Every structure is written in structure tokens, then in C-alpha cells.
Amino acid sequence: MLRSSQPLTGPNRKRCREDEKLLGTVLDEGERGFIIDTRSAQAAKQARMTGGGTEPKSSYPQWRRLHRPLERGRPLQESFIKLVEACNDTSINMDRWLSRLESCRWLSHVKAALSTACLAAQCMDREEASVLVHGTEGTDTTLLVTALAQVILDPSCRTLVGFQGLLEREWIEAGHPFHLRCARSAYSHARLKQEAPLFLLFLDCVWQLSRQFPFSLEFSERLLLTLFDNAYASAYGTFLCNNEKERCLCKVKEKTHSLWAWLNQPGEKKKYLNPLYSHNALVIWPSVEPQSIQLWQGLFFRWIRSSQYLDEAWAEIQRLVEGN
Amino acid sequence: VLHSQISSIEKQATTATGCPLLIRCKNFQIIQLVIPQERDCHDVYISLIRLARPVKYEELYCFSFNPKLDKEEREQGWKLVNLHEEYNRMGIPNNYWQISDVNRDYGVCDSYPTEVYVPKSATAHIIVGSSKFRSRRRFPALSYYCKDNNASICRSSQPLSGFSARCLEDEQMLQAIRKANPGSDFIYVVDTRPKLNAMANRAAGKGYENEDNYSNIKFQFIGIENIHVMRNSLQKMLEVCELKSPSMSDFLWGLENSGWLKHIKAIMDAGIFIAKAVAEEGVSVLVHCSDGWDRTAQVCSVASLLLDPYYRTMKGFMVLIEKDWVSFGHKFNHRYGNLDGDPKEISPVIDQFIECVWQLMEQFPCAFEFNERFLIHIQHHIYSCQFGNFLCNSQKERRELKIQERTYSLWAHMWKNRADYLNPLYRSDHSQTQGTLRPQMAPCNFLYKFWSGMYNRFEKGLHPRQSVTDYLMAVKEETQQLEEELEVLGEKLANLQKSQLTDNKVKSKQQDGSKRLGLSTSNNNLANTPQEYSNDLKSFPSRSPSQGDEEDSALILTQDNLKSSDPDLSANSDQESGVEDLSCRSPSGGGCLPSEDSGKDSDEAVFLAV
């Protein structure tokens, strides 16, 4: 699986031999590959007007392009804000709750993200074909897809350590601009242009996987909530800045502590483990039917309703498993 | 699939492969049979229609079902749940409440049981008088008594008050209920209907209690819709479930449009109100709707469940259903179509109650002794007519038909298999299980989830592939075994140490009776297949052999009846730990659990059944 940003085809359909050659080396003679473009076909076409575009079939004959539009940017942030508002609105009665939930579109985004990641995984696992994923800049929906696909495909990404490695690789080092994206969260009136909850969407999708495959992830919901918290505000330097270059310039590694170092301490670590975990060597294919995708109550109702009874249930599960 | 489960049959348009018949079942299974010849298809259609609409009770399965038990066992089975004992458990008879035999020949009310519990100060004269002033003569009678504070939940039907009629005895009856609770000087009267409906009833000479006429009552409408609205609501929700590849929008809109969860919440809120009145205010409540056998039953049983942890045990739940549904004359036959009857009487009343319980289980995972499967199987058997518990419309009818002598009790059957129905997280000493359950009333819309375990029960792809419940039960069993083994070995060690001084001869090797469960949750059996994530891949030859036909999954009626959603997981543990083999016995022997649901074997297509 490869990732990149959009090719700069532009309105004059420029070609780039090096780019074609690079992609060419990925595939053997006669092999086919898939390009998953996270923009709609129309949006991708329009991108040419501003210097971007798509890989033309003629120049990349072995690659088949699939478009799977995934929401990002302002609309995604709005979706998030609307959802949080809906969750906090004590005046909605049951008559309106579901349509309000629907109008936020958040769950639709979860469904779309999971479906696209599954598609990428399916290309690799079932079609045994290579996949290139990109959107516009390769820093948002691209990473969402590649990271999620790896959780689906690769059991080592489902371990606590492996998942951290995945985050380092596919989000942090890959240059997801955390500083811009995770600036003020849902309550701010600032409505910053660059803010968007892609990382939260990723965590939500991972939570959906943990619900559908309760034995297959080594980490618990608590880890996901902690990651969410730290992406926005953290005592650690892990999610600082927008890319490696900035982190180097700011000397993040010299001046701050790593979240991972703290999480992995034996005393801390056990809080983030899933007591039901059992190594599952297989690919986990989630259902993306609407009934299978649920609102992540642990996050969205975190401060609204007590988690006491569910916590007690988990404590009981822990007790049963440890007692054995 | 039992004929009694068939809800409707639809002949669909002929295709190249043949004539499809779509069979929708009351337990939400949907089966499509494709019959090559149109003529045969029509014959099958006609036959199934007739078979699914029995005219006489004797046609029902329960009269021919033979689990190979003797008469004694059959009788014992029926005795498992005893309401007399239940009222004793509540603390009755006592200073305030007594049993009355005024209805011993069903002379006062033919839809009530022979044994009713009434306030001490309610004489036979008062009871009879009150019954004449109540719809269907269903006078106020005791449903639940809280011995801690003497508050009670009573139930009845609507008074025949019209616009201005009064009845001294009925007023005295309510006073008697009030007096039976010295801790409070008033009672709540809760009418579970929407106000408009109740008012409309007045024009027909019925209606509701006027606070001016009945001293010391506080009257309250709750607003649960009637059976017709509920029937339509379910219908709409099932239509949503039948959508092919719905978007999130389609689903959420459809679900909201059906109003189903709104109704569930309304029932739950009513139960919460009553439970609060009893537990927190110490005030007695009289509940009624129109006839006092639908919404009243729902609301009283939800309230009881919230109030009393006993009803959250397996046995207690069976007792609850016997009390508030069976004995109080809920019209099982009419509502669930045992026999062919008026389609307008059909309504998912008890289904809604069962769902309320599930919703509570989701909110309070440690509080119930039983698990989701228990609820699903009960629902299944309400429609299956395999057992005699839910036949007819009243105790009177059941006794006339000699149900207990001619059929078997579901409770005995489930009790025998109770290991399947346990909730591993339940502990009777857990804080969550004790005392009153207090669900959040607001804001809590989001707490109501769509129950795909029930409404998409047979769609394997939708459910988590791995059953946490079954895994934890297996863990629990193994731990218990290991502890027992440890004890035995400990004793042995002690003995050996003693005898070591005198005799070094080692005893014969103890047979390793308790086999290790070797709990591995992983591997081969968890392989599942991807759903149809994209149409684009179809043009590429798929190399996956396990991508089965969608059509296949529709025809697969899980015959194995293994208890769990991940058969291999618990199958191993069952055999090794010696738990009763739950696989289906021969058809004539019956004894099958209803065909089990999600998450069967690896190579089947995950995609939805039709």
C-alpha cells in the first residue's frame, strides 16, 4: 500500500516520467494496481484547474482508479460541531433525536471511512493487488484510509505497541498537521479554516472495529479516549507541530517527553489493555451496515452521562479474566 | 421453521431461476424460496398460508410436541413458577393485603385469574361493585407490593365514567388501596393513554378518573400509543431493515419515521415514573389503559423490574411474565396470532416489553442474571406455540383447554438449559444488581439503541463475530473447575503429607475428570468474509473462494442450534467441560432451541440475508 498526494497534472495534462516510472516499479509485468482517490471524480477533475488532478489512464495503464469521496476540512469540522451540539442538547426529545443525529452526518462519515479502508484492504488481501491512496494533499483522508486499512489487515497493528507504531508512522511522521487540525475542538467559536477532526474520525473507526471484534484489539477504549485528548491538548510532545520538519526546528525531542514512553510504563500500560484480547492472526472485516455502526457514546457522552455502570461491567470482565 | 412463526408470505415476480416466495416470520427471520415451477410455487403458497393460520387450537405444535418427559415431569415443569409463592415472597398476605377468591369461578371477571390480591379493606361487595364500573370488569388488583414502605402497584382497566358517571364501590376501592399504604395520604392514578384518546373514550361511556370524585388521587396521563400505532410502527421499522444497502441517512430517517424507539422510551419512562413513585415517594400507584391488558402490563412489569432485583434473576423474570402477562389475561392469542384471527388485534406488545428489558441490560450490564439470548428465545417461543404457556387469551381459557395437562411449560425447558442464558457479569452481591435500578430519564435519547440482535437476528454479517458473553461464561466455568480441582488437590496433598510419614505408596493416579478448556478465542474460526464494500471489484476476477453466494445465506437455516454465536468457541468448551450438549435433538423429540443466529462459520458470505 502506498500513499501520496495528488499528481500535479494541471489543466494541460502534464506528464511526469519519473512519477510514472516510480509507480511502474511497484507493479510487475501484467499486474494491475488500484488507485484509491479520496475525492469524488468531479472534484478530482476540477482540481486540474488549480494545478492538481488525477493520474491519466494512458500514462498509468496498469493502475485502475477508484474514487471514494471522503469528507474533510470545514464540512467535517462542522459535522463534528453539530454532533457535539446535538449530544449536549437536553431539549431534543426522542421524536427528533435520530434525524438530528442524521443531519450531523458524522456516522455517515464513519461508514464511508470504514468502507474505503475496507476497500483498500480488500484490494490487497483479496485481489492481491497493490494500492495507492491519495486525496489532495495526502495528509488527511489519505492517512485515515491507510492507517485504518492496516488495522484491518495486520494483526500486529492491533497490539498496543503496534498501534502506537502505526500512529507514529501513518499520522505523525506522515505529516498529518496536528497543530492545525486539532486546534480548538468542537466548542470553539473560532471556526478555524484548517481545523478538521480527521484523527478523531480515525479513532472512532477504530472504536467501531473494537466493538465488532471485541477480542481482536489489544488496547481498550480508554486508549482511544486518551489519544483523542492528547491530540488536542497534551503534556507530551508527541502530537505537537504539523510535521517532522517543524518538530525538528522546535527541538521537540529534546524539550518534551513522549506520550508513548509514559503510556508504556508497566503501571500505566495495564490501564489501556483490553482484558478480552487474544491474538487474531486474520483480517478483520467489519460490517458497514448502518445497524453495525454506532454512535461512540464513550466519547460523545463522556461528560453527559455517567459511565459508572459500563465501567463496572469492564471491571467485572477484568476480574473474571484475571481470576482465570 | 415452525408454521406458527410465519407472519406473511409474498409471491414475488418470477425470475429466470423460478418463482420466489418470500416468507416473513414473527421472529424476524426472512426466507426466500425459489421454486422452479409456477404451479408448484402456487401450491406451496396456498398450503403454507393455510398452515400458518390454524383454526383450532389442536392444530398447534404444542399439542403434538413430545420432549419425551413423563407425566410427573410435565407437571413439575408447570409447577416451576408459582404465583402464590411469589406473593408470599412479597410479604402477602399481611395487615394490608389479602388474597381474595371472589373470582374463583371467573364470575366477576373472566379475563382475571381465580386468585387476586386486594386491600384488606376491600370487601367482596366493593370488588364486585368496582368491577361493574370497569371496562371488561377488570377491577383494581395488586400487581406489586413493596414491603419496605407499603407502597404498591395496582392495575385495572378504565372506569366506565363517561362524562359524569360515578360508582361508590369503585371510589371505595381506590380508597382501600390508599389506606393499604399508611405512609402516604394519596395515590397516583396513571392512565397510560394519550390524553386525547382517553377523552375520546368518554364519549363511549368510558374514560378516566375525575380527581374531584375520587378523594386523594393525583391523576396523570403518560401517553403511550395504542396497539394499532405500535403495529404500524413495527411494520415501518421492519421495512427499514429490509432495505438493500441502506445509507446511514436512509437508516436513521427510516428508524425515526417508524417511531419505534420513541415508543420504547415512552413505555420505559412510564415504568420509571411508577418505580420512582413507589421507591422514592413511597406512594401507591394505580395503573390502567383502556382494557388494562396491554400498556398496563408493559408498564407494571417494567416498573417491577426496576424496583425489585428478584425480577432481574432468571427465575424472577419468568415469574414476572407469569404474573403481569399470563395471569392478568394478556390476550396472547389475539396479539400474537396463535390462531387465525382479526389482523387488527395483532400487535407487538410483549415484544416491546422484552425490548425494554434489553435496553436496560445495555445500560446496566451487571444487573441482570440472564443474557440477551434468554430474551430472544422467550420472544421466539411466544410465537412458536411449541409450549403451552402463551396460548389463549386468559387463564380461564387455558384451564378449559387443559393446557397444563396437554402441553409442556417453556419455563421448565429454559430452566433446564439455563447455563446458556446466564450473564457472566452478574453477581447478586454487585452494587448494580441490588435495590432499585435508576435509569437516567433525561437526557437519554441516545441511550436507546436499535436492537439488531433481535430485528436482524438472522443476518449473520451484522453481528460481532465473537460472543463476549459465551467467552466469559466459559472462562467462569473453567475458573470454577480449576478452583474445585485445586481444592481436591489440596486435600490430596494434605492426606499425602499425613500418610507420607507412615506410607510412601502413591495412590492411584486420579482420573483427570475436569478437562482443561483450552480457551483459545483466536484463529481459524474467526475468519470472516468481507462485505460487499464496492461494486468496482466485480470486474476483476475475485480470487477469494470464500466469497459465497448471497443467495446461499438466505437459504441457510441454521440447523445446529448451538447455543452461541461463535459455535466453535463454546462448542469446545461445552464438550470438554461436560455441559449438556445443546445441539438439536431429532425433530420428533423436539427439544430444540430456536435456530440460532449470528456469526456462524467462516466460509459463509457475510452479507445480508434477503
Beta-bridged to residue B31, according to DSSP, are B23
Tell me whether residue A322 is in a domain. Answer: no
pLDDT in tens, A263-294: 999 999 999 999 999 999 999 999 999 999 99
Closest-CA distance, A159 to chain B, in angstroms, reads 14
Backbone angles phi, psi at A224, to 5 degrees: -60, -40
Tell me whether residue A316 is in a domain. Answer: no
Q: Are A32 and A161 in contact (CB under 8 A)?
A: no
Residue A124 is part of which domain span? 2-308
Beta-bridged to residue B10, according to DSSP, are B22
- pLDDT at A322 exceeding the cut of 70: yes
Q: Are B83 and B326 in contact (CB under 8 A)?
A: no
Q: Locate the chain A residue with the closest alpha carbon to B546.
A: A126
Tell me whether residue A296 is in a domain. Answer: yes
Told to judge if B289 belongs to the known catalytic residues of this protein, a careful annotator would answer: yes
Q: In the sheet where A130-134 sits, what is the strand order?
A: A2-4, A130-134, A33-37, A63-67
C-alpha cell at B123: 370487601
Beta-bridged to residue B153, according to DSSP, are B144, B285
Q: Are B608 and B602 in contact (CB under 8 A)?
A: no
User: Could you tell me which of B512, B521, B513 has the C-alpha nearest to residue B475?
Assistant: B521
Can you state the percent helix, strand and coil of chain B, rounding each to 5?
A: 45, 10, 45
User: Could you tell me which of A202, A203, A225 has the C-alpha nearest to residue A303?
Assistant: A225
- Matching residue, cell 483522508: A141
Which positions of B make up the binding site?
226-227, 289-295
Is 0.90 surpassed by the pTM of this model?
A: no
Tell me whether residue A317 is in a domain. Answer: no
Tell me whether residue A318 is in a domain. Answer: no
The arithmetic mean of pLDDT across residues A99-117, rounded, is 97
Closest-CA distance, A126 to chain B, in angstroms, reads 6
Q: Which residues of A touch B442 (CB under 8 A)?
A: 90
Q: Locate the chain A residue with the closest alpha carbon to B524.
A: A282
Query: Positive or negative, the Cα torsion across B61, B63, B64, B69?
Result: positive
User: In angstroms, rounded to a whole number, what is the distance separating the alpha carbons of residues A280 and B402?
Assistant: 54
What is the reported pLDDT for B527? 60
Tell me the three state secondary structure of residue A195. coil
User: In angstroms, rounded to a whole number, what is the distance separating the alpha carbons of residues A157 and A143?
Assistant: 15
Would an 8 Å CB–CB cutoff place A158 in contact with chain B?
no
Backbone angles phi, psi at A33, to 5 degrees: -130, 165
| Inter-chain CB pairs, A–B, below 8 Å | 193
Q: Count the Cβ atoms, other than its own, within 10 Å of residue B273.
A: 19
Q: Which residues contact B609 (CB under 8 A, 6 or more apart)?
A: B30, B458, B459, B460, B553, B554
User: In angstroms, rounded to a whole number, what is the distance separating the alpha carbons of residues B85 and B62?
Assistant: 27
Tell me whether residue A223 is in a domain. Answer: yes
User: In angstroms, rounded to a whole number, what is the distance separating the alpha carbons of residues A33 and A27?
Assistant: 7
User: In angstroms, rounded to a whole number, what is the distance separating the alpha carbons of residues B538 and B599?
Assistant: 25
> Quick check: bond before B54 cis, omega within 30?
no
pLDDT, mean of each 10-residue run, chain B (610 residues): 93 93 95 94 95 93 92 95 97 96 96 97 97 97 96 98 95 97 96 95 95 94 96 97 94 96 95 96 97 98 96 97 98 96 97 97 94 97 96 97 96 96 90 80 74 92 83 93 92 87 52 42 54 56 31 27 30 24 29 35 28
Task: Say whether B465 and A213 touch across the interface (CB within 8 A).
Answer: yes
Chain B contacts in chain A segment 275-294 (CB below 8 A) = 276, 278-294
Q: Are B323 and B167 in contact (CB under 8 A)?
A: no
- Matching residue, cell 488527511: A140
What is the reported pLDDT for B502? 67
Identity at A3, one-letter amino acid code: R
Distances (CA, A) of B267 to B156, B222, B350, B351: 17, 9, 11, 12
Would an 8 Å CB–CB cutoff place A29 in contact with chain B?
no
Q: Locate the chain A residue with the closest alpha carbon to B443.
A: A90
Q: Which residues of A touch B446 (CB under 8 A)?
A: 87, 97, 101, 295, 297, 300-301
> Quick check: bond before A177 cis, omega within 30?
no
Q: Which helix (H) or strand (E) holds B226?
A: none
Q: Are B98 and B118 in contact (CB under 8 A)?
A: yes
Task: Estimate the crossing angle of helix B314-321 against helix B372-384, to 10 degrees.
Answer: 30
Tell me whether residue A59 is in a domain. Answer: yes
Which positions of B make up the binding site for substrate?
226-227, 289-295
% residues pLDDT > 70 (chain A) = 100
Q: Which of B289, B356, B584, B592 is catalytic?
A: B289
CA A195 to chain centre: 15
Task: Say whether A312 and B432 touch across the interface (CB within 8 A).
Answer: yes
What is the reported pLDDT for A83? 96
The arithmetic mean of pLDDT across residues A137-149, rounded, is 98
Interface predicted TM-score (ipTM) of this complex, two decimals: 0.94
Q: Which helix (H) or strand (E) holds A301?
A: none
Is residue A190 very low, low, confident or very high in pLDDT (cuts 50, 70, 90)? confident
User: In angstroms, rounded to a whole number, what is the distance separating the alpha carbons of residues B353 and B270?
Assistant: 12
Exposed / middle / buried, residue A43 (Cβ in 10 Å: 0-12, 13-18, 19+) = middle
Closest-CA distance, B348 to chain A, in angstroms, reads 20
Residue-range domains of chain B with CATH: 3-53 (2.30.29.30), 71-459 (no CATH)
C-alpha cell at B313: 434473576
Q: Are B181 and B283 in contact (CB under 8 A)?
A: yes
User: Could you tell me which of A253, A246, A242 has the C-alpha nearest to residue A175?
Assistant: A242
Task: Say whether B253 and A279 touch across the interface (CB within 8 A).
Answer: no
Give me the count of residues in chain B. 610
User: In angstroms, rounded to a whole number, what is the distance separating the alpha carbons of residues B359 and B453?
Assistant: 12
Task: Say whether A126 and B537 touch across the interface (CB within 8 A).
Answer: yes
What is the reported pLDDT for B589? 31
Q: Which residues of B touch A311 (CB under 8 A)?
A: none
Going by their DSSP bridges, the two strands B6-11 and A63-67 should be labelled as unpaired
Give me the count of residues in chain A. 324
Task: Say whether A291 and B442 touch across the interface (CB within 8 A).
Answer: no
Closest-CA distance, A243 to chain B, in angstroms, reads 33
Domain count of chain A? 1
Tell me whether residue A206 is in a domain. Answer: yes
Q: Count the Cβ atoms, other than its own, within 10 Å of residue A265.
A: 9
User: Could you tell me which of B438, B446, B420 has the C-alpha nearest to residue B367?
Assistant: B438
Identity at B39, one-letter amino acid code: R
Based on C-alpha coordinates, what's the Rg of chain B?
27
C-alpha cell at B366: 451487571
C-alpha cell at B524: 481459524
Q: Which helix (H) or strand (E) holds B56?
A: none
* Dihedral angle over CA of A82, A84, A87, A91, nearest 10: -60
CA A203 to chain centre: 6
